[in-house]
Structure 1
Amino acid sequence: EYAVVRSLLAMGKRLLLVFNKADRYPTADLQIILNNLRQRLKDLAPADVLAIAASPQPVSLADGQQLRPDPDILSLLERLAEVLRQEGDTLIADTLLLQSEQLSQTAQNLIDQQRQRQAEAIVERYQWIGAGVIALSPPGIDLLATAAINAQMVVELSRIYQSPVSLEEGKRLAVSLAKTLTGLGIVKGSLELLAWGLQTNLATVVAGRALQGVSGAYLTHIAGKSFIEYFRRSQDWGDGGMVAVVQEQFQLKQRQTFIQAFVKQAIAESQPLQRLAAEIPNWTSDRSNPDPPLKRPDRP
């Protein structure tokens, strides 16, 4: 309770500290207790620390009957009346301010949730667009193509978070993040992770193009999640910069269950990938036999 009282005082709350069951203590002991409480809570006025007996213990009379005294709460009522008389308007204003702040926070939470849903829908749309475009491009992941797709995604995300950027600024951010993905080894790491997710012979050209498309979608997903954090923080990457945000998003998306689900969803959402998957031997998007456990490649 002491910790709670200290927290409330730190928030500027108006408090009365009431020691109950005062009738169970000798007068001298009760005074010592009140003095100790006032000493520990010097932020409170001495008059705001008081003692009452809300439900006094029964008293035995000479004839053996039990008499329950009336509640002894007069000191509390008098102090409450005095506080309300002197500070009533201020207390009402403080209460209204608190309610307003709580309402504002609730509204902000709802706005944040709505923005998150809209932003995730944008990222999902662009990751499947990227999957189709890159799957049809020449072999080798085209980071420039990915960056071009991501640039428009950045512009749309910026509008969601009321911090609009131009297409040129979107391109600059997208290229910078693409370089970060490469520098951290995430491009290579994603290829290895998704190759296990596809579980097919990557020696074939078709399988290579399928992997290329899924990898493009995966990298766009990582980029999109990173940009959501960037705009959610009012265009601030935080103390660790872009590198820390990208690393965190990549680490969150390395689980085998996510990789397998992502590969299957990519095939289902992208028509170019559907056509490529149909040409891959021993691969269908809905295999009856369960997948063997994936061996996680070494992290870059």
Structure 2
Amino acid sequence: MTQATKKQALGRGLSALLKDPENDIKSVNDKNADKVVGNIIELEIEAIEINPFQPRSNFNEETLQELATSIKELGVIQPITVRKLDFNKYQLISGERRLRASKIAGLTVIPSYIRIANDNESLVMALVENIQRHDLDPIEIALSYQRLIDEIQLTQEQMSDKVGKKRSTIANYLRLLKLDPIIQTGIRDGFISMGHGRALINIEDEDAQSDIYHKIISQNLSVRDTETLVKNHQEGLKPKSGKPTKSTSAFVVAEADKKEIATVLGTKVDVKIDTNGKGKITIPFKSEADFQRIIALIKG
């Protein structure tokens, strides 16, 4: 008998133990709990309900069929994980894709790891295990992180420890949830990547965000192209810093006025006016006598 066959036989034996009402295990302290919790056991598929905390919502039918074909030939290679709810009643923690494919393949039992956990522990296990083991799209991952924040009150630092991701990585996923729902759908459906989404987050105006999103799709823009487009958009929003006009005052001194003053005083006159209408008149003189002459003219 091969090692795999021995494990399957053991799984069937433990399955029989679980169906014995006299040995109903409800906590890790119950008799025979050590034989069940954490072990691989063959469970009836009909006794397993889908986990309401499951973050994955999209399942590709073609790949499910491929997995079902593989399961028919090779069996379920990686056991699913469940938590015990009641006598012969279980809830899926992780492995929904394998469970769905097993049903398609016509299996009645499936190898399972059994855990005993409360709802919060189950939610954490479901989200963490799915984030780590499955190819969730970026929005599904972001929603999983957000649920850990909202429902379990985990900090980003605590999530970092649990999922083995940098805090900055978690923050980048969470920022995707600020995008317009249409753009989030575009990421989920694979029309744009997470990189495109991260660039679009920097645009606050939803209409502008949507316009660039449609350009990305219609023109098949790369992430770098998108970043350039976003940068150009933001540069266009900045106020133009041109040179100040020569004069924005309420009056402008014409050259004729300057010449008239110069003619009266008998010397060249310079007049400067700032934007507030304030200014100064400069009257040069050649000597003390010339200065006294100009003063006399001004006094009239």
Question: Could you state the TM-score of these two structures normalised by the residue count of structure 1?
Answer: 0.21
Decide which structure has greater strand share.
2
Identify which of structures 1 and 2 has the higher relative contact order when contacts are C-alpha pairs closer than 8 Å and 6+ apart.
1
Decide which structure has greater helix share.
1
